[in-house]
Amino acid sequence: MRPMGLEKGARVAVLTSGGDAPGMNAALRAAARVGAEIGLDMVGVEDGYAGLIEGRIAPLDIRLLDEASRRGGTALGTARCKPFATPEGQKRAREALAKNDIRALLVIGGNGSLTGARTLRDVETKGGPLIVGGVPASIDNDLACTSMSIGVDTAMNTIVEACDRIFDTATAHKRTFIVEVMGRDCGYLAMTAGIAAGADAVLVREADKTEAQIVDQVVRTMQRAYGPQPDGSATKRRVLVIKSEGVPIESARLKELVVEKTHSLFPDVDTRVTVLGHVVRGGTPTAFDRLLGARLANAAIRAMVAGQSDFMAGWCGPGITRPACPWDPYVVLTPLEEVLAETAKLMAGDSDLARWRKRVFAEVEDILQR
């Protein structure tokens, strides 16, 4: 049965969960402001599902969120909450929702967070089943049914800026750098940042290469860069390889194997590793991520008011075939079940988008190496 919409004064809880993503605060701010304007009672849950289990729920403070929206992280706090996946954790979360008279829940997070949201959709509230909505936020861009998740653009810009810096010092010393970036099992962030930064090679899990093939790819890139150029132009003074963290070889081991094969060929070239790690996840959100967060949260709150439930508000773009929602021509609402199923396929390499990414990643490999 389609749940009834939200009445004025209905209490709506918002939480951020999983890995934080720059732009989450802008989404919180928009949810708080739009909800207040409509006349909803907007509350925030601290530390994601961990705070929900413990009933740590308080009114959203618009003034505080106005300030926070300029910053990365999340003003509500977040957690990777293992207890929430247990029957006891679920029971406590349901009790907290009932006790606090929550009529609707907006979850801002990635795949695991939206999986959690789905389990709460049958919680009974005074006005009918709990209304549940999701907003995609993860720097990995590994969620289907949205062309962009909150945080991706900022993370990409952070990587590009770091690579620009590394280029300077790499060129000065004639060095090869292997720069490891976050993204879990998804190579999107590494690839897009690599193209934007002008990397010489990008290593992604989706290429399905063996250890020997990965080493070979880096060695070939170095030969192409430091060896004689077909058009007689000067050789390169640096090689920058971006490696997605999901590639199944440790960066330190990759470096060792590459050095073994190249030290006699290029004795004057030093090879170094830089792991950007959590630097990629923090930092000031770009204008795009702030707007993305605000627009997705705006549409999600309005959809919940209209009685829509069990959906994710995604950003339009290639591969998104559903029509736009009535509240924003760039926002598309997709049932959570479909989002989770399509995401599983994307990560298994079993969807049109996954196949397209894999093909393009392979094409880009040769183009970057030139």
For residue 251, the minimal CB distance to ligand F6P (Å) is 14
**Cβ-based neighbour number of residue 335 at 10 Å:** 16
**Residue nearer to ligand F6P on the CB measure, 104 or 139:** 139
For residue 185, the minimal CB distance to ligand F6P (Å) is 8
Residue 183 interacts with ligand F6P (CB under 6 A)?
yes
Number of residues that bind ligand F6P (CB under 6 A): 11
C-beta of residue 289 within 8 angstroms of C-beta of residue 26: yes
Residue 182 interacts with ligand F6P (CB under 6 A)?
yes
* Cα four-point dihedral sign 28, 33, 37, 39: positive
DSSP secondary-structure letter at 321?
-
- Considering only residues 107 through 146, tell me which ones interact with ligand F6P, judged by CB under 6 A: 110, 138-140
C-alpha to C-alpha distances, 156 to 124, 188, 202, nearest whole angstrom = 41, 10, 14
**Residue nearer to ligand F6P on the CB measure, 140 or 153:** 140
**Residue nearer to ligand F6P on the CB measure, 129 or 246:** 246
Residue 187 interacts with ligand F6P (CB under 6 A)?
no
Q: Which residue has the tokens 């894999």?
A: 358
Picking from 357, 279, 288, the residue whose alpha carbon sits closest to that of residue 318 is 357
Picking from 345, 355, 359, the residue whose alpha carbon sits closest to that of residue 142 is 345
For residue 112, the minimal CB distance to ligand F6P (Å) is 9
Binding string to ligand F6P for residues 56 to 85, with x set by CB under 6 A, is what?
------------------------x-----
β-pairing verdict for 41-45 and 11-16: parallel
**Residue nearer to ligand F6P on the CB measure, 22 or 110:** 110
**Residue nearer to ligand F6P on the CB measure, 184 or 302:** 184
Supply φ then ψ for residue 273, to 5 degrees: -120, 135
**Residue nearer to ligand F6P on the CB measure, 238 or 281:** 281
Residues 6+ apart with CB under 8 A from 295: 30, 328, 330, 331
Picking from 195, 146, 199, the residue whose alpha carbon sits closest to that of residue 170 is 199
β-pairing verdict for 131-136 and 238-244: unpaired
Residue 205 interacts with ligand F6P (CB under 6 A)?
no
**The binder of ligand F6P chosen from 19, 48, 73, 293 (CB under 6 A):** 19
Listed ranges 125-133, 178-186, 291-299, 304-312: which one lies at the site for ligand F6P (CB under 6 A) = 178-186
**Residue nearer to ligand F6P on the CB measure, 80 or 359:** 80
Indicate if 140 belongs to the active site: yes
Residues paired with 274 in a beta bridge: 179
For residue 46, the minimal CB distance to ligand F6P (Å) is 18
Binding string to ligand F6P for residues 238 to 257, with x set by CB under 6 A, is what?
-------x------------
The token pair that represents 141 in the structure block: 């861009």
**Alpha-carbon gap, residue 96 to 88, rounded angstroms:** 12
Active-site annotation holder among 140, 142, 200, 289: 140
Supply φ then ψ for residue 151, to 5 degrees: 105, -20
Residue 184 interacts with ligand F6P (CB under 6 A)?
yes
C-beta of residue 330 within 8 angstroms of C-beta of residue 316: yes
For residue 232, the minimal CB distance to ligand F6P (Å) is 42
Binding site for ligand F6P (CB under 6 A): 19, 80, 110, 138-140, 182-184, 245, 281
Active-site positions read: 140
